[in-house]
């Protein structure tokens, strides 16, 4: 599915696992957004759960295959939900 020149992919095998969501530009543009989503058990766990999501992206090397495909600019999102609240952490 295209979103202003980006392709949205869900649960794509990458690195040592499957990332929740990927937004990919055309390979020649080389931009990728990797998102990992978590559900926190309590409000107090929102921050730690979002950090855990970011760590999972790194540990499971979700960007490894994309680098081989020519992507070079990455933005990583760790997103945690608790009821109707969410916490979003971003790394570039």
3-class state of residue 5 by DSSP:
coil
Cα separation, 67 vs 86, in Å, equals 29
Task: Determine the structural domain holding residue 54 and report its residue range.
Answer: 2-91
Q: Residue 57: which CATH number?
A: 3.40.1350
Cα separation, 46 vs 69, in Å, equals 33
How many domains in the chain?
Answer: 1
pLDDT band with cut points at 50, 70 and 90 for residue 10: confident
Cα separation, 64 vs 45, in Å, equals 29
With 90 as the cut, is the pLDDT of residue 2 above it?
no
With 50 as the cut, is the pLDDT of residue 67 above it?
yes
> Residues 47, 49, 54, CA angle at the centre, nearest 5°?
95
Q: What pLDDT score does 55 carry?
A: 97
Give the phi and the psi of residue 53 in degrees, each rounded to 5.
Answer: -65, -45
Question: pLDDT for 26-64, tens place per residue?
Answer: 878 899 999 999 999 999 999 999 999 999 999 999 999
Global pTM value: 0.87
Under a CB-based contact definition with an 8 Å cutoff, are residues 63 and 34 in contact? yes
pLDDT band with cut points at 50, 70 and 90 for residue 82: very high
């Amino acid at each position: 599915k295209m979103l202003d020149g980006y392709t949205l992919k869900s649960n794509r095998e990458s690195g040592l696992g499957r990332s929740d969501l990927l937004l990919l530009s055309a390979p020649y543009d080389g931009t990728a957004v990797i998102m990992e989503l978590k559900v926190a058990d309590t409000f107090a766990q929102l921050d730690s759960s979002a950090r855990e999501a970011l760590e999972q992206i790194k540990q499971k090397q979700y960007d490894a295959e994309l680098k081989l495909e020519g992507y070079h600019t990455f933005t990583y999102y760790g997103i945690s939900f608790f009821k109707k609240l969410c916490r979003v952490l971003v790394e570039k």
